[in-house]
């Protein structure tokens, strides 16, 4: 049985302010919850149907995690999904501390105000696929623990470290102390398919409508563009979706290694 | 003033059955509607606010298109958007006839049961960016004239030809009569980054959950895969989103030309 207070607490975690004060977030479904349980993310409580706990995965759940058997009607009361899927988990938000120097020899994605939860989730999944371990988000980027983002990552949220930082401060540190390349996708940059690319540095992806913000542009020392191959010279497509651009840029960096 | 019948007719076009019987679809917003008016798509009626018709674009509207000035409250009654955006257009569904032989020297995307409207819209935008003029969809693929797809294409719907066909029949014709390559993304295909690719043929993208359907697999004569660069050997990301995979594959075909 779910208490009224518990229902209120769980639904409250759909709001960023409550996630930040409690340091908890919610994940849902038979695909992502088992992945989180097996990952380094700390899962505190599970709310699942009997069917879920009877699944083969049931025996793998560590005793440290509190299991709550609930009905489908109860699950509906705490779920943010239109069609709840067997189980909901309350997890602890990891307390990652960013150390810029440690990123010196790695490729890192930097997101400058990505606002769409689906885009952020998809970008985290792309990072996971391409072995990019860290993503730095501007403070205005949508919260990674927003339920829509968590679902869109399809479990990749457990394998990629995400930091929220003031990007200007981070870029100045990366440039002055560590001297590493900061790539950014802009309108008139060098053709990424013809440019030499390093195996380390930041790759900055701009906001869906406005691109990279004006105050960060002067700090991008490697400006790149994805050329269009459109057959319509006039009246052609203006831009690629932010997640699509991320995928193409990451492909180009990783494929050449 | 909008009549009750008109409101009913326009809202009815949110449903596929009504679009198919009337051969009309709806597009909305100050970005996409002007693009459609300038394109080869036939726009029949516009329902816009005075502000919309007074915009610089107002003078460009051909006299053949019926202009209806309506209030924002009226626009809300016919819009499928949460936040209606100045204008709604009723357009004719183009009557494209597919001729497989004409595709022989081109790259063509083939979608095998793409179900998510956002994915289909994004894929059409990718095709436009990469100069892919034609997309063939299986009969079970989501309808391109679904309002969510129309919006997600961001105007690219006007520049890419989309056909709905029985894929098996089309593939057999492509193979037997025209003998051109049919590429498909599968789990254990050849590494796309190492494989030689032609500048023509079909590129088949499978369903979001199930990939390419079993009955089509034997007809794919060039099986390709996008390798992962994940650092997590076990418990790693299983797949890329269908639109992301499309972008990476199209990039690889086009970049080498």
**Cβ pair B130:A229 closer than 8 A:** yes
- Lookup: tokens for A118: 């689906």
Considering the domain architecture, whether residues A10 and A111 belong to the same structural domain is answered as no
Q: Which residues pair with B161 in a beta bridge?
A: B134
Q: Map tokens 């051969």 to a residue.
A: B23
DSSP A118-147: HHHHHHHHHHHHTT--EEEEETTSPPTTSH
| pLDDT tens readout for residues B239-249 | 789 999 999 99
Q: Domain with B104 in it: what CATH number?
A: 3.40.1280.10
CA distance A3 to chain B (A): 34
Considering the domain architecture, whether residues B48 and B81 belong to the same structural domain is answered as yes
Q: Which residues form the domain of B241?
A: 100-255
Q: Measuring CA to CA, which residue among B251, B151, B111, B44 is closest to residue A252?
A: B251
Q: Which of A92, A126, A145 is the last residue of a domain?
A: A92
Does B128 touch chain A if contact means CB atoms closer than 8 Å? yes
Q: Which residues of chain A have pLDDT under 70?
A: 232-237
Q: Which of A62, A92, A122 is the last residue of a domain?
A: A92
Rg over alpha carbons for chain B, rounded to the nearest Å, is 20
Q: Nearest chain B residue to A230 by CA: give it.
A: B131
Mutation test of the interface with chain B: which of A30, A106, A129, choosing the one with the most B Cβ atoms within 10 A?
A129
Mutation test of the interface with chain A: which of B230, B242, B254, choosing the one with the most A Cβ atoms within 10 A?
B230
Considering the domain architecture, whether residues B161 and B223 belong to the same structural domain is answered as yes
Does B157 touch chain A if contact means CB atoms closer than 8 Å? no
Considering the domain architecture, whether residues A113 and A235 belong to the same structural domain is answered as yes
Does B67 touch chain A if contact means CB atoms closer than 8 Å? no
Residue B85 reports pLDDT greater than 80: yes
Q: Which of B41, B66, B92 is the last residue of a domain?
A: B92
- Is residue B136 within 8 Å of B170, Cβ to Cβ? yes
Q: Domain with B58 in it: what CATH number?
A: 3.30.1330.30
| pLDDT tens readout for residues B190-232 | 999 999 999 999 999 999 999 999 999 999 999 999 999 987 6
Considering the domain architecture, whether residues B85 and B105 belong to the same structural domain is answered as no
The confidence score (pLDDT) of residue B78 equals 96
Considering the domain architecture, whether residues A136 and A214 belong to the same structural domain is answered as yes
Does B225 touch chain A if contact means CB atoms closer than 8 Å? no
Considering the domain architecture, whether residues A118 and A230 belong to the same structural domain is answered as yes
Considering the domain architecture, whether residues B169 and B107 belong to the same structural domain is answered as yes
Considering the domain architecture, whether residues B135 and B195 belong to the same structural domain is answered as yes
Can you tell me the mean pLDDT for B32-57? Answer: 92
**Cβ pair B229:A130 closer than 8 A:** yes
Q: How confident is the model at residue B134 (pLDDT cuts 50, 70, 90)?
A: very high
The confidence score (pLDDT) of residue B235 equals 58
A159 to chain B: which residues are within 8 Å by CB?
230, 232, 235-237
Task: Look at the alpha carbons of B99, B103, B104, B110 in this order and tell me if their dihedral is positive or negative.
Answer: negative
Domain count, chain A: 2
Can you tell me the mean pLDDT for B179-194? Answer: 93
Of A150-164, B50-64, B111-125, the least confident: B50-64
Can you tell me the mean pLDDT for B148-177? Answer: 93
Its pTM stands at 0.91
Task: For the sheet with A43-48, list strands across it.
Answer: A24-28, A87-92, A43-48, A66-69
Considering the domain architecture, whether residues A74 and A107 belong to the same structural domain is answered as no
Closest Cβ opposite residue B126 in set A126, A193, A244: A244
- In whole angstroms, what is the distance from residue B109 CA to residue B183 CA? 10
Considering the domain architecture, whether residues B72 and B143 belong to the same structural domain is answered as no
A199 to chain B: which residues are within 8 Å by CB?
none
Q: How confident is the model at residue B236 (pLDDT cuts 50, 70, 90)?
A: low
- In whole angstroms, what is the distance from residue A242 CA to residue A206 CA? 7
Considering the domain architecture, whether residues B241 and B130 belong to the same structural domain is answered as yes
CA atoms within 13 Å, Cβ hemisphere of A23? 8
**Cβ pair B125:A241 closer than 8 A:** yes
SS3 A168: helix
| pLDDT tens readout for residues A48-85 | 999 999 987 878 899 999 999 999 999 999 999 999 99
Does A161 touch chain B if contact means CB atoms closer than 8 Å? no
The confidence score (pLDDT) of residue B90 equals 97
The confidence score (pLDDT) of residue B27 equals 97
Task: For the sheet with B201-205, list strands across it.
Answer: B161-165, B134-138, B107-111, B201-205, B182-191, B222-225
Q: Measuring CA to CA, which residue among A72, A95, A88 is closest to residue A27?
A: A88
């Amino acid at each position: 049985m779910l208490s009224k207070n518990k229902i209120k607490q769980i639904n409250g975690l759909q709001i960023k302010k409550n996630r930040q004060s409690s340091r908890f977030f919610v994940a849902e479904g038979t695909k992502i919850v088992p992945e989180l349980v097996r990952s380094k993310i700390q899962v505190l409580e599970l709310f699942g149907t009997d069917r879920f706990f009877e699944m083969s995965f049931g025996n793998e759940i560590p005793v440290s995690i509190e299991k709550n058997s609930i009905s489908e009607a109860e699950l509906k009361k705490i779920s943010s999904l239109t069609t709840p899927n067997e189980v909901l988990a309350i997890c602890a938000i990891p307390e990652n501390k960013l150390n810029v120097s440690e990123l010196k020899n790695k490729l890192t994605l930097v997101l400058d105000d990505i606002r769409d939860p689906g885009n952020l989730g998809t970008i985290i999944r792309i990072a996971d696929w391409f072995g990019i371990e860290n993503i730095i988000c501007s403070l205005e980027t949508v919260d990674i623990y927003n339920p829509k983002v968590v679902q869109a990552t399809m479990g990749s949220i457990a394998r990629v470290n995400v930091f929220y930082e003031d990007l200007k401060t981070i870029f100045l540190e990366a440039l002055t102390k560590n001297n590493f390349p900061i790539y950014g996708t802009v309108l008139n940059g060098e053709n990424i398919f013809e440019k030499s690319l390093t195996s380390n540095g930041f790759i900055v992806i701009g906001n869906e409508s406005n691109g990279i913000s004006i105050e960060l542009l002067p700090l991008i020392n490697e400006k790149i563009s994805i050329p269009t191959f459109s057959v319509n010279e006039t009246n052609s497509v203006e831009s690629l979706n932010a997640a699509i651009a991320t995928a193409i840029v990451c492909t180009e960096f990783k494929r050449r290694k």
